[in-house]
């Protein structure tokens, strides 16, 4: 892969679709750095946090709950300098609790994965950083089950909140996928992306 600033691959898609697992497999196979875009959630005390009238809680699935400008700036710093300090967000506590340093070699693809990744596709393209953007998803019932099992095992929120939120997300998933496609992401199954991205790197 020729040296270029266009090295960021956005892996977006519905919550629970397998973005993190795909990114982990690609990191293990190629040594590529992963930037967890969900770590750029705003702290729950942030007055900019939107609320869900339907659920009566903070709307964690609204792009306004996430700091896209900070995420895009971090990706540019990583590509330009080879390292960046990113927040570590605790979903159960609804705030950043630590920081982590991510490193990238000159020819690495940088995997930026998170549910709001599509929101910064245009910004990354304008900055000359974008190598590709993909909306990772399965059938929405499969995603619902995987997401619920993950969230329960990690105790992200109270169980009934997770069930209610999961049913709402399952209902809204076609709209979410359509929006991410409209923002520039190409729909793909995780198994199809592994060989595709390996070829892109070459």
pLDDT score at 100: 97
pLDDT score at 1: 45
pLDDT score at 88: 96
pLDDT score at 20: 87
Taking only the tens place, the pLDDT of each residue in 113-149 is 999 999 999 999 999 999 999 998 866 666 667 776 7
Residue closest to 44 by CA, chosen among 90, 104, 112, 86: 90
pLDDT score at 197: 87
Distance in angstroms between the alpha carbons of the first and the last residue of the chain = 5
Taking only the tens place, the pLDDT of each residue in 153-190 is 767 677 767 777 767 777 777 888 889 999 999 998 88
Measured CA to CA, the distance from residue 100 to residue 183 in angstroms comes to 29
Taking only the tens place, the pLDDT of each residue in 24-77 is 999 999 999 999 999 999 998 888 888 877 666 778 778 889 999 999 999 999
In this predicted structure, the answer to whether residue 79 has a pLDDT above a threshold of 50 is: yes
Residues 6+ apart with CB under 8 A from 43: 94, 95, 96
Taking only the tens place, the pLDDT of each residue in 81-117 is 999 999 999 987 888 999 999 999 999 999 999 999 9
Interhelix angle 159-182/140-153, nearest 10 degrees: 130
Task: Give backbone dihedrals phi and psi of 112, rounded to 5 degrees, phi first.
Answer: -105, 105
Concatenated DSSP letters for 27-47?
Answer: HHHH---EEEGGGGBPPTT-T
* pTM (global) more than 0.75: yes
In this predicted structure, the answer to whether residue 191 has a pLDDT above a threshold of 70 is: yes
Give the residue extent of every domain in the chain.
Answer: 8-196
pLDDT score at 3: 65
Q: Would you call 74 helix, strand, or coil by DSSP?
A: helix
Q: Tell me which CATH homologous superfamily contains domain 8-196.
A: P-loop containing nucleotide triphosphate hydrolases (3.40.50.300)
pLDDT score at 35: 98
Measured CA to CA, the distance from residue 97 to residue 198 in angstroms comes to 34
In this predicted structure, the answer to whether residue 201 has a pLDDT above a threshold of 50 is: yes
């Amino acid at each position: 892969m020729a040296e270029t600033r266009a090295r960021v691959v956005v892996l977006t898609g519905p919550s629970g679709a397998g973005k993190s697992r795909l990114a982990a497999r690609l990191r293990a196979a190629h040594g590529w750095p992963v930037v967890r875009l969900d770590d750029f959630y705003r702290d729950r005390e942030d007055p900019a946090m939107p609320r869900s009238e339907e659920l009566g809680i903070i709307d964690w699935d609204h792009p306004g709950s996430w700091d896209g400008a900070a995420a895009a700036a971090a990706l540019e710093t990583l590509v330009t300098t080879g390292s960046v300090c990113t927040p570590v967000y605790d979903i159960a506590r609804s705030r950043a609790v630590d920081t982590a340093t991510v490193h990238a070699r000159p020819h690495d693809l940088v995997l930026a994965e998170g549910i709001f990744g599509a929101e910064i596709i245009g910004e990354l393209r304008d900055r000359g950083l974008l190598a590709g953007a993909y909306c990772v998803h399965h059938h929405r019932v499969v995603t619902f089950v995987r997401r619920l099992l993950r969230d329960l095992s990690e105790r992200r929120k109270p169980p009934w909140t997770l069930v209610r939120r999961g049913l709402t997300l399952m209902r809204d998933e076609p709209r979410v996928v359509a929006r991410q496609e409209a923002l520039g992401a190409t729909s793909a199954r995780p198994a199809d992306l592994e060989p595709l991205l390996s070829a892109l790197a070459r």
